[in-house]
Amino acid sequence: MTIIDRLYERVKEKGPVCVGLDPSEDVYPAGFLKKFPSPAQAALQFCQEIVAATADLVACYKVQIAHFEALGVEGLQAYRDLLRWLRAQGLMVIGDVKRGDIASTAAHYAQAHFGGEFAADFLTLNAYFGFDALAPFLPYLAGGERGIFVLVRTSNPSAAEFQDLVVEGRPLYERVAEKVAAWGEGYRGQSGYSLIGAVVGAHPGVLARLRPRFPSLFFLVPGYGAQGGTAQDVAPAFFAGNGAVVVAARAILAAHRGKPAADERFPHYAREAVLAMVEDLARCLP
Amino acid sequence: MTIIDRLYERVKEKGPVCVGLDPSEDVYPAGFLKKFPSPAQAALQFCQEIVAATADLVACYKVQIAHFEALGVEGLQAYRDLLRWLRAQGLMVIGDVKRGDIASTAAHYAQAHFGGEFAADFLTLNAYFGFDALAPFLPYLAGGERGIFVLVRTSNPSAAEFQDLVVEGRPLYERVAEKVAAWGEGYRGQSGYSLIGAVVGAHPGVLARLRPRFPSLFFLVPGYGAQGGTAQDVAPAFFAGNGAVVVAARAILAAHRGKPAADERFPHYAREAVLAMVEDLARCLP
């Protein structure tokens, strides 16, 4: 069973929630940061408390490396330690790194984020460079223990600027999805999904267009919750309740806002928010 | 005088060579790595010796973060220390990070690579997300001390896969260049060049197409030397010998290959290779 099949099984069992671990002052309870000798230690501890309160409810976690990179060397040490801690518990983790470069450089990123200290189960990648950006990651996929999500159509306001440009009568993102599906053809697991999936934001029209055409692509769907997407918006990402995970970060991490005893009980509120999200999605999934 | 004007003046004085600091076993002399307690310390020392031997000859340096990321936390410490050491000498440095994400995430990357421990003078960025990917970097440009190079048309074999797709009769990369030029309009320095420039590979046809249409874009041109580009290939990147820097990494860093006493004299061979490149470019520039 490859890692994408394990993710598929986990979605079947727990539902498709992927908690985004994006630690920052913006989501900490008021008194949290000052309890720690450094922002990096606060970030690590905050994420660990969120995970401890939610691990039995989720499909996987996505860790945004930018939030750790902003804290410098010590931040990246916390990123490394968080990924190791998550994976040591058997939890699946997507390293949200969105790297993309020429092949000789991408080989170093592959070493860093699949082979080295920052090893994740899945990575997000940017394919503006074409196939070269992915090629060095593929040897790591051969054992079935690593997977990739390539940016296809993102969830941000200016995404349409380039991604929706029309190429031969179809949006650019669809052309990207075609290439991604073709690259992943040799990496399909038992579930039918490929170790090479796609990042597709919570746009119902985009999801409805891509889902039936690319049955082998597992979707990583950002944009739910704080970014404005609803369960109905993400419902077209699924085949029979599977084939996608839906990311929520801020809506979970800052669920304590305005609640009593947030400083102590923020993990409890995160858990409640995940439970609500699992139910919200279950109601709307086909 | 903004930093892009300083780069312009430096190109006028020294020529347009940008040495790419991409340290790895592939470019070290045979006995180099084993002199150090760790690969990260070897990477830092190697780059410093190359810089010490070439600093008076070049326009600027470009440091490829992937090579340091591959070495984990200690590698990123070396990246931080290298950037600090370069900038403390008044040398201009491009952090080749090619980050790109939604605005709330890009804000953390901007903090990391302009405001924080990894601060560089210039950064490379990926604009697949549209303007959102750049917006959080712009406040750092306001003081005139930071600049950006956005990926427009890259130098790798599969670059054409998406970048050359035809959108309304023109290649996608030209549409990207248009947007980049428009975003940079308010950031033009005395030289006429904007703090927001473009990465355009050593393709003479692409450079000849873009150069006259986008006079405010300073070009960062990879692909010379080991990647196959010649001085004639990069000549169309220039207006009167300025407006671009040409990157060479491997051709400089591994210039010692097959030469006598490479272990001790590799900085000397790097210097000779830079001198040859400066002359090679000077002969071909308009």
User: What CA–CA distance (Å, rounded) separates B81 from B30?
Assistant: 25
Q: What distance lies between CA A222 and its chain's CA centroid?
A: 7
To the nearest whole percent, how much of chain A has pLDDT over 90? 97
Range name among B138-142, B222-226, B253-257 with the lowest pLDDT average: B222-226
Cβ contact, residue pair A158, B130, below 8 Å: yes
Which residues of B are less than 8 Å from A76 in CB distance? 73, 76
Kindly give, in sequence order, each residue whose CB lies less than 8 Å from that of residue A12, ignoring residues fewer than 6 positions away.
A241, A242
pLDDT at A286: 67
pLDDT score, position A226: 80
Asked whether the predicted pLDDT for residue B29 surpasses 70, the reply is yes
**Closest residue, chain B, to A24 (C-alpha):** B108
Q: Residues A115-160: pLDDT tens digits?
A: 999 999 999 999 999 999 999 999 999 999 999 999 999 999 999 9
Give the per-residue pLDDT at B227.
80
Q: Of A69, A158, A176, which is closest to B162 when you measure between CB atoms?
A: A176
**Whether residue A12 lies in the annotated active site:** no
What is the residue extent of each domain of chain A? 3-284
What pLDDT is attached to residue B249?
Answer: 97
Identify residue A166 by its one-letter amino acid code.
Answer: V
Does any CB of chain B come closer than 8 Å to the CB of residue A203?
A: no
Q: To the nearest whole percent, how much of chain B has pLDDT over 90? A: 97
Q: Tokens 């699992």 label which residue? A: A278
Confidence of residue B286 (pLDDT cuts 50, 70, 90): low
Distance CA B233, CA B252 (A): 18
Residue A230 class from Cβ within 10 Å (0-12 exposed, 13-18 middle, 19+ buried)?
Answer: middle
Residue-averaged pLDDT of chain A: 97
Domain B3-284: CATH superfamily, name plus number: Aldolase class I (3.20.20.70)
| DSSP annotation string for chain A | --HHHHHHHHHHHH-SEEEEE--STTTS-TTTGGGSSSHHHHHHHHHHHHHHHHTTT-SEEEEEHHHHHTTHHHHHHHHHHHHHHHHHTT--EEEEEEE---HHHHHHHHIIIIISTT--SEEEE--TTGGGGTGGGHHHHTTSS-EEEEEEE--SGGGHHHHT-EETTEEHHHHHHHHHHHHTGGGB-TTS-BSEEEEE-S-HHHHHHHHHH-TTPPEEE--BGGGSB-HHHHGGG-BTTBSEEEEESHHHHTTTTT-TTHHHHHHHHHHHHHHHHHHHHHHH--
Do A162 and B151 count as a contact with CB atoms less than 8 A apart? no
Per-residue pLDDT tens over the stretch A7-46:
999 999 999 999 999 999 999 999 999 999 999 999 999 9
Average pLDDT over residues B98-113: 98
Read off the pLDDT of residues B53-95 as tens digits, 9 standing for 90 and up: 999 999 999 999 999 999 999 999 999 999 999 999 999 999 9
Chain A residues with CB under 8 Å of B172 CB are: 162, 165, 167, 172
Query: What's the rounded mean pLDDT across residues B21-45?
Result: 97
Cβ–Cβ gap B166/A167 under 8 Å: yes
pTM above 0.80, yes or no: yes
Q: Per-residue pLDDT averaged across B167-176, rounded? A: 97
Residue of B34, B98, B179, B259 marked active site: B98
Given its phi and psi angles, is residue B16 left (phi above 0), alpha (psi -120 to 50 degrees) or beta?
Answer: alpha
CA distances B118 to A125, A214, B133, B144, Å, are: 22, 40, 18, 18
CA–CA distance, A222 with A246 (Å, rounded to integer): 6
The Cα angle at residue B57 between residues B53 and B58, in degrees rounded to 5: 105
Going by C-beta distance under 8 Å and a sequence separation of 6 or more, which residues neighbour residue B52?
B267
Residues 161-190 of B with CB under 8 A from A: 161-163, 165-168, 172, 175-176, 179
* pLDDT above 90: residue B163: yes
Q: Are A117 and A106 in contact (CB under 8 A)?
A: no
How far apart are the C-alpha atoms of A4 and B80, rounded to whole Å? 36
Q: What is the pLDDT of residue B228?
A: 86
Q: List C-alpha distances in Å: B7 to A120, B92, B142, B286.
A: 39, 8, 17, 19
pLDDT given for residue A252 in this prediction = 97
> Could you read off the pLDDT of A88-99 as tens digits, one per residue?
999 999 999 999
Q: Chain A: nearest CA to B28, how far in angstroms?
A: 16
Scan residues 65-124 of B and list those with Cβ closer than 8 Å to A: 66-67, 69-73, 76-77, 80, 98-103, 105-106, 108-109, 111-113, 116-118
Q: What is the DSSP letter of B280?
A: H
Mutate to test the interface with A, among B117, B124, B129 (most CBs of A within 10 A): B129
- Cβ-count burial B105-118 (b if 16+ within 10 Å, e if not): bbbbbbbbbbebbb
Confidence of residue A225 (pLDDT cuts 50, 70, 90): confident
Which residues of A are less than 8 Å from B73 in CB distance? 73, 76-77, 80, 117
List the structure tokens of B235: 């000549």
Confidence of residue A227 (pLDDT cuts 50, 70, 90): confident
